[in-house]
Structure 1
Amino acid sequence: MSAVLEKATFSKEAYKEAAGRLFHNEREQGYKPVGLHLYRLPTGPILYARVRMHKPAAEGVYEKLIRPFFHDGIEWKRGEPKQDNGKLLYGLADVQNLPQALVIVGEGEQKADELTKIGAGRLAGVTSGSASSASHADWSPLAGRHVLLWPDFDEPGSKYVDAIAAKLQVLGCALQRVDVAALDLPHKGDVMDWAERFRAAHDRTPTADDVLALPMTKAVPLDPPIGDPAEIDVWPAPQLLSAMTAPLDYPIESLPPRLRAAVEEVHRFVQAPLALVASTAVAALSLAIQAHVDVKRAERLTGPVGLFMLTIADSGERKSTCDTFFTRAIRDYEAEQAVDGKFVIDNYQADLAAWEANYNGVKEKIKSTAKAGKQSTTDLREELRDLEHDKPVQPKVPRLVYADVTPEALAFSLYKQWPSGGVVSAEAGIVFGSHGMGADSVMRNLATLNQLWDGNSLTIDRRTSDSYTVRGARLTVALQVQAATLRSFFDRSGALARGTGFLARFLIAWPQSTQGYRLFKDAPDDWPHLDAFNQRIADILRLPIPTDEGGNLVPVMLPLSPEAKDAWTKFHDEVEVSLRTGGELCDVRDVASKSADNAARLAALFHMFSGDTGPIAVDALENASSIAAWHLSESKRFFSELAVPEDVVHAGRLDAWLIEHCSATGAPSVSRRDAQRLGPVRKREPLAEALQVLEDLGRLRVEQMGKQITVNPALLEGVAL
């Protein structure tokens, strides 16, 4: 056990509060907490806990869910802490405090608590957990004690106490066993059933004497001895894969109703990860709205509303399809403007050709006159100056969407063609893997993108052509990149990507893949919510963009209402406090420092998309803060795992998939072929490396000549197999 865990002690109330936060999603699914079981060290401090939840399935029937969680010294996490010497027994503190008590071992924490309560100091209920947990628990603290084994009245219950008897026998324990067959219990009947029947029959609570009066058999010596390795399947305690953190559900309820309806409609058909679908839609809002409004967070704290969004996912997750749905109005607008602008561009080119002819003619006259030396060139030079002032200005025709573009080319287009645009790519390797992000130019190009996110003026100095300054431009970035490509980018750029604040500006999503679960669906005949979404985007795009005399954007400033300002301040301060050393966000300070800014940007986008007027309302700000906080949790998850070796990252994703798959199928095993075909690690070598990592941690076994993968039963507790 680590020193960090030994020092990180929390009260029962703290565990209750943590359970409420960690298992919020389960409560949303209809599960209600009915018990909290605290695993205490012999000296009393809590090492970890297991929350018991029930969900009504039918009258008198419920689904059971039991999940462990702990505090690692920094934050609360699902799972059990690493325990080097085997799993801690539940009820061990009672055993320590009651040295003369009879130890009764049963299956499950609820029964151990009941027996300790009944015993009133004479009995100490103990358990290792479920029927599959006996082999990986540390039973040594019971050495030499008098132990009564109370199995559930079924085959798994019998095998459970058989396995325990084998371990306690070598520890010198005096063993007896309740003869459950003589208790007239129903099949699967247990301690709780016996106690309930006793109360009904005797109109009182049973006591320790009633327990001791039960029919018993002597558990040892046994002939032949229990514990033949060939008959008892002994698993090690699974070690915690601590580098991996489970993702939170995307808070879709925080999106504006019209946006949420469109996202859900597309998600139902495309079946891409929900966070990917939602991020694509939000990026479309950013691209359409950013030219029209800025947001004022506080006095002297103003800025653009354009977002940088990054979805980390494999190819084939259907981001391109989602882009097509949500940017339809934007691309239609571009096409319309290109057609309408063709006549204007043709006229401009004709005017420019005529101007160049006049300009060059005057230059030739100056040259010949100066050469002859017979008259002054003053009038000709004045004519040339006048022509310079009359040079035709290239009309700006909207171009909003870019894919394969370098930051320098993007800046020039924002300066020359249209002051608002977006880099939208389903294969962001084009961006992160391009020569524009090479080692020689990465610092300059990251700074360019940072300046555009900030909305600052940007001066581009050139050696072979005119320098220029981009003023008032607005930029959205919406990319999908594979984790391997992003790792390679970090390898090339070193610490610059984070040190310059480049990735800190992104709202990151790292959703779990839906590939392998997207069964065919016919496209719906109508898309009412998506059509409404695109109609609203089209209406916004047709609004004239606000510009100054020089053609630079001057978006309308949207302030926060007083209530929204209070909510924004609260969100900002909560994040700020978490940046302290040892705080929940101290390892992602760069990203967290931009989170409140992104929340204000999202609020402004939600405000305008919804057609609201006046200052930004508190509801928009609170919903935006919920979205920003979710992206912040994704950033923390990604950056904490970025430093982890790739084989361990693959192992974490495979581990989560295996547990989910076995839970869904009700089988403890899956073929290696199906794991490769359906799971998150599709290539042979990375799969082999991930399996080796998980096998070394005792989380699975690769059996049948490498063809079958069996998950450690301890990881499937609470799942009916």
Structure 2
Amino acid sequence: MFDNEKILITTSENWGDSLPSCKSDEKKQLDYPIQHFPVVMREAIKCISEYVQCPISMAAQCVIGAISHIAQRNVNAPHPYVKDGEPCSLFLLSEGQSGSRKSSAKTIADHSIKEYERLQYDRYRRNDRQWQKKFLGNEKKEHKSCLAETKEPKDPSSVFSDITIESLLGLYIDGFVTNVSISSDEAAQFFAGHTMKSETRNQALATFTKLFDDGYVERTRSKSNLNGSGRAYDVRLTFNLQGQREVLIKALQDPVLRGQGFLARFILTVPENLAGQRFQDKEHQSKDINTDSRMIIYWERCSDLLNDSSDHQRYVIPLDEEAKKVDLAFYNEIESLQAKGKCYEYLQAFASRASQLARRLATVFTYFQGEAFINKQILLAACDVIRFSLNEWLRYTEIELDKESDAEKLIKNLIRKCKQKNTNLILKNLGLKGAPLHLRKIKDFDVCLNELIELKYIRLKIINNTTYLELNPALLK
């Protein structure tokens, strides 16, 4: 227990040197960095945000998700050790409350994909009816030769809002799909669905991470299983999920989802809720997004890429010489921030993938723009997005970092209490009562308190023989 007579109690306003990095300090929300995006993408994002009245970050994630789905068919991202590169597929996760306009933003961003899927499905249905007529019109003995002459048409659908891992594996292994998106504005369909609740969840997560990393899946089943064993190479998966906090917080706190590195592969945004600010006037209501040139150009570009033949082998979009320098600098920047005492010390699973995600995102940008090389400006734009995402993971304070020290947990509690009371002064006894459960014994509490005093995060103050904790004002800015 502290002996207050042995501690220097001062009324001086000078706290001395600036605070060391505090990992538990609440991170400020950053603006989603679209300023250096390819022009067509950037203008489409602004257009969606303007018409739908949703946050820029929400519109941006929708557009990136759509283009990732398109790009993964034809190109690979550069990899420092693999000549043929790696999948450019992206995993995206956006939080949005009910009524945040996430569905509307996603519908607009995916317009060309939905039109393409509809046309492909209509063609499949016509071909399937013709095949069925021909197949069923033959005698049983002629079925084999009929099958050899004309193969049964395959359902070309590649975007799913709700699909189990077993069904997805079956589609890959049977050759029905090569490039898939799991895309939904109701993330509960995925996180609370059968795949994530079943006894095979760990295996499913391993499959998803393998798909992300290598574009490879395998399954071993008994021969009696009609949807049996097999492997599929060079397959792709994009995740574009949006959901409410009540759903996402359970998933983001799940130690299995985080421990297996599944969540670490996601680019995250947690935008501000704009409800109460989305006023309209006659001018706004008279506008038509379907005639806005910004969206028309974006939709046409998506359609052109979708209609480009996907039969050829994927090719790698390499970094040019200037981009290589940016890639190296970004890697070293994020690596240095994972050191002890730095902001990503306890976010290493996420931060260690920063360079990989930036190269993938830059590949998607470059493919959409029609360039042969990833240039410096595009990679810088991608790096900005990944920095933004890492800040979002840090800012999502409801997620308890497994290795947070007791002192970090305590100062987080004290900061929250002081902000609620709009003061930097709090009774020591009140701080003790609100501390994490395992710190509510005075001996353990004072050990952490001593550490925070040494760091100049707090100091003791005696007023009328009552002990207060005074927080460094810098913590509350």
User: Which bracket does the TM-score occupy, shorter chain normalised?
Assistant: 0.7 to 0.9
**Which of 509, 513, 528 pairs up with 2:293?**
528
Change in 2 beyond 3 A, CA 1:585/1:341: same
Query: Alignment partner of 2:241: what SS?
Result: strand
Is 1:448 aligned with 2:207? Answer: yes
- The answer for the alignment partner of 1:335 in structure 2 is 118
Identify if the C-alpha distance between structure 1 residues 471 and 350 changes in structure 2 by more than 3 Å, giving closer, same or farther: farther
Q: CA deviation at 1:622?
A: 1.2
Partner AA of 2:388 in structure 1: W
The alignment status of 1:289 with 2:104, answered yes or no, reads no
Equivalent position of 2:377 in the other structure: 619
Distance in 2 between residues matched to 1:637 and 1:391, nearest whole Å: 59
What CA deviation, in whole Å up to 9, does each residue of 1:64-106 have, x standing for no partner? xxxxxxx35436xxxxxxxxxxxxxxxxxxxxxxxxxxxxxxx
1:641 and 1:607, CA in 2 relative to 1: closer, same or farther beyond 3 A? same
RMSD: 3.2
Of 450, 467, 475, which aligns to 2:229? 467
1:275 alignment partner in structure 2: 57
Letter of the aligned partner of 2:301 in structure 1?
Answer: R
- Ranges of 4+ aligned residues in structure 1 off by more than 4 Å: 40-45, 350-356
Structure 1 CA distance, aligned partners of 2:16 and 2:286? 53
Find the partner of 1:261 among 20, 43, 48.
43
Amino acid in the other structure paired with 1:398: P
Please list, as runs of the form range in 1=range in 2, the aligned pairs for 1:607-686 lying within 5 A after superposition.
607-612=366-371, 614-638=372-396, 640-643=397-400
Pairing 1:48-63 to 2, within 5 Å after superposition = none
Is 1:405 aligned with 2:163?
Answer: yes
Change (3 A) 1:481 1:618: same
Taking a change above 3 Å as real, the CA distance of residues 636 and 439 of structure 1, as seen in their structure-2 partners, is: farther
The structural deviation recorded for 1:462 is 3.0
| Aligned-partner Cα distance in 2 for 1:582–1:343 | 63
Question: Using the alignment, how far apart are the partners of 1:311 and 1:563 within structure 2?
Answer: 32
Q: Which residue of 2 aligns with 1:695?
A: none
Deviation at 1:389, TM superposition (A): 9.2
Q: 2:279 aligns with which of 496, 519, 525?
A: 519
Task: Tell me if the contact between 1:294 and 1:305 (Cα under 8 Å) persists in the aligned partners.
Answer: yes
CA distance in 2, matches of 1:359, 1:569: 62
Map 1:510-589 onto structure 2 (within 5 A): 510-520=270-280, 521-522=284-285, 524-525=287-288, 526-547=291-312, 554-589=313-348
Secondary structure at the aligned position of 2:94 is classed as strand
In structure 1, stretches of 5+ residues that fail to align are 3-39, 49-70, 76-241, 361-383, 548-553, 660-713
Indicate conservation of the 8 Å contact 2:21/2:342, yes or no.
Answer: no
CA separation of 1:297 and 1:320: change in aligned 2, threshold 3 A = same
Q: CA deviation at 1:641?
A: 3.0
1:408-431 CA distance string (max 9 Å, x none): 222323444221121111110010
| Distance in 2 between residues matched to 1:569 and 1:395, nearest whole Å | 47
Q: Does 1:498 align with 2:250?
A: no
Q: Say whether the 8 Å CA contact 1:297–1:560 is kept in structure 2.
A: no
Question: Which residue does 1:390 correspond to in 2?
Answer: 148
Change (3 A) 1:350 1:473: farther
How far apart, CA to CA, are the structure 2 residues paired with 1:272 and 1:356? 59
Higher relative CO (Cα under 8 Å, sequence separation at least 6) belongs to: 2
| Pairwise CA distance, 1:636 | 2.1
Displacement of 1:399 in angstroms is 1.6
Kept after mapping to 1: 8 A contact 2:135/2:146: no
Find the residue that maps to 2:78 and give its secondary structure. Answer: strand
Rate the CA distance shift 1:530–1:487 in 2: closer, same or farther, 3 A: same
Over 3 Å counting, the alpha-carbon distance change for 1:394 and 1:588 in structure 2 is farther
Query: Match of 1:131?
Result: none
Matching of residues 175-194 of structure 1 within 5 Å? none
Distance 1:489 1:641, change over 3 A: closer
Give the drift of 1:566: 1.6
Shift of residue 354, structure 1, vs aligned partner? 6.6
What SS class does the counterpart of residue 79 from structure 2 fall into? strand
1:527 maps to amino acid: D
Kept after mapping to 1: 8 A contact 2:252/2:258: no
Encode CA deviations 1:432-488: one digit per residue, 9 max, x unaligned.
Answer: 011211151210111121122123321122342222222211111111122221233
Runs of at least 5 residues in structure 2 that lack an aligned partner in the other structure: 3-9, 402-408, 423-472
Does the CA-based 8 Å contact 2:27-2:391 persist in structure 1? no
Q: Which residue number in structure 2 is paired with residue 92 of structure 1?
A: none
Question: Secondary structure of the equivalent of 2:238?
Answer: strand
What one-letter code is carried by the residue in structure 1 that aligns with 2:236?
R
Greater shift in the superposed pair: 344-353 or 458-467: 344-353
Distance 1:448 1:630 in 2: 27
Query: In structure 2, what is the Cα distance between the partners aligned to 1:572 and 1:349?
Result: 55
> Would the alpha carbon gap of residues 73 and 244 (structure 1) be closer, same or farther in structure 2, given more than 3 Å must change?
closer
Amino acid at match of 1:479: L
Residue 436 of structure 1: aligned partner: 195
1:320 lines up with 2:103 in the alignment? yes
Aligned length: 396
SS for the counterpart of 2:242 is strand
Show the counterpart of 1:203.
none
1:297-354 Cα distance to aligned partner (Å, 9 max, x none): 3242721111100012212211110111111110001111122233322343345547
Match of 1:249 in 2: 31
Q: Which residue of 2 aligns with 1:708?
A: none
Give the SS at the match of 2:77. Answer: strand
Q: How do 1:152-163 residues align onto structure 2 when only pairs under 5 Å count?
A: none
Tell me what 1:74 maps to. 22
How far apart, CA to CA, are the structure 2 residues paired with 1:418 and 1:352? Answer: 23
Q: Is the 8 A contact 1:254 1:626 kept in 2?
A: no
* Aligned twin of 1:373: none
- Please give the TM-score of this superposition, normalised by the length of structure 1: 0.51
Distance 2:256 2:28 in 1: 28
Spell out, residue by residue over 1:2-57, the C-alpha distance to the aligned partner (whole angstroms, 9 max, x if none).
9xxxxxxxxxxxxxxxxxxxxxxxxxxxxxxxxxxxxx995976355xxxxxxxxx
Secondary structure of the equivalent of 1:394? coil
Q: Secondary structure at the match of 1:252?
A: coil
Of Structure 1 and Structure 2, the greater strand share is in 1
Aligned-pair identity in percent equals 26
The AA in structure 1 aligned to 2:394 is K
Contact 1:421-1:476 at 8 Å conserved across structures:
yes
Q: Is the 8 A contact 1:351 1:392 kept in 2?
A: no
Q: Distance in 1 between matches of 2:138 and 2:188?
A: 43
**2:215 and 2:236 in contact (8 A); partners too:** no
Q: Alignment partner of 2:237: what SS?
A: strand
Residue identity opposite 2:221 in structure 1: R
Mark the structure with the bigger radius of gyration.
1
User: What amino acid sits opposite 1:508 in the alignment?
Assistant: L
What CA distance in whole angstroms lies between the structure 2 residues aligned with 1:45 and 1:356?
92
The answer as to whether partners of 2:323 and 2:374 remain within 8 angstroms in 1 is yes
CA distance in 2, matches of 1:555, 1:41: 68
1:419-430 pair list within 5 angstroms: 419-430=178-189
The amino acid across from 2:122 in the alignment is: V
